[in-house]
């Protein structure tokens, strides 16, 4: 662009010289022709500078297109990572739900064992009294009124269910992710 401006200035100088040439006669006419030639050279240089500027603009546009393509690929990769994260969350939630279900079943089974043991203990405590009543009824000839028994069955608490599920989840996590050395 600087060369083009210089060429333009030289052209103006040539025009000024041409005007002086008209006033000065033949000598002025010769100088005017030389000035015109210099002006044309400046115009040529200006056109060459414009062409280089257009080439630079095209290279810049290619760079912008490349950057946009890169952003598109980055967006695709981010979407895929987001989908993988959602799938992993769903899988882990399913595992935790299954662990909670299994833990609840195990807790229910253990509670049944405890309830049976309590019932067996209560029967063992009542057994001597029942034998005494039977013997007494045989000796006296009548039966005593029946005795009532109470049964104990504790329901599992929410805290123990959540704790059991958490411990089961930690065990599964440790089994699936061995320690790295």
More confident of the two residues 149 and 169: 169
pLDDT at 39 over 90: no
111 pLDDT tier (thresholds 50, 70, 90): very high
CA distance between the termini of the chain: 65
- When mean pLDDT is compared across 12-26, 92-106, 163-177, the lowest value belongs to 12-26
pLDDT at 148 over 80: no
Collect all residues with Cβ–Cβ distance below 8 Å to 29 and sequence separation of at least 6: 21, 22
The predicted-structure confidence for 44-65, as pLDDT tens digits, reads as follows 888 888 878 888 888 888 888 8
Token pair 């981010």 is at which residue? 78
More confident of the two residues 22 and 91: 91
43 pLDDT tier (thresholds 50, 70, 90): confident
C-beta separation of 87 from 153 below 8 A = no
Mean pLDDT over each residue of the chain, to the nearest integer:
78
Three-state SS across 14-60? HHHHHHHHHHHCHHHHHHHHHHHHHHHHHHHHHHHHHHHHHHHHHHH
């Amino acid at each position: 662009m600087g060369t083009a401006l210089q060429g333009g200035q030289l052209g103006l100088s040539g025009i000024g010289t041409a005007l002086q040439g008209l006033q000065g006669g033949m000598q002025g006419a010769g100088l005017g022709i030389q000035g015109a030639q210099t002006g044309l050279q400046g115009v040529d240089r200006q056109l060459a500078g414009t062409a280089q500027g257009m080439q630079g603009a095209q290279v810049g546009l290619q760079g912008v297109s490349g950057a946009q393509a890169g952003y598109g690929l980055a967006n695709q990769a981010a979407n895929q990572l987001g989908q993988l994260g959602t799938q992993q969350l769903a899988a882990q939630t399913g595992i935790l739900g299954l662990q909670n279900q299994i833990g609840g079943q195990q807790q229910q089974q253990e509670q049944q064992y405890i309830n049976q043991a309590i019932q067996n203990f209560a029967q063992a405590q009542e057994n001597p009294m029942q034998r005494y009543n039977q013997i007494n009824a045989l000796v006296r000839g009548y039966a005593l009124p029946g005795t009532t028994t109470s049964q104990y069955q504790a329901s599992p608490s929410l805290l123990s269910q959540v704790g059991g599920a958490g411990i089961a989840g930690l065990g599964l996590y440790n089994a699936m992710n061995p320690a790295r050395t």
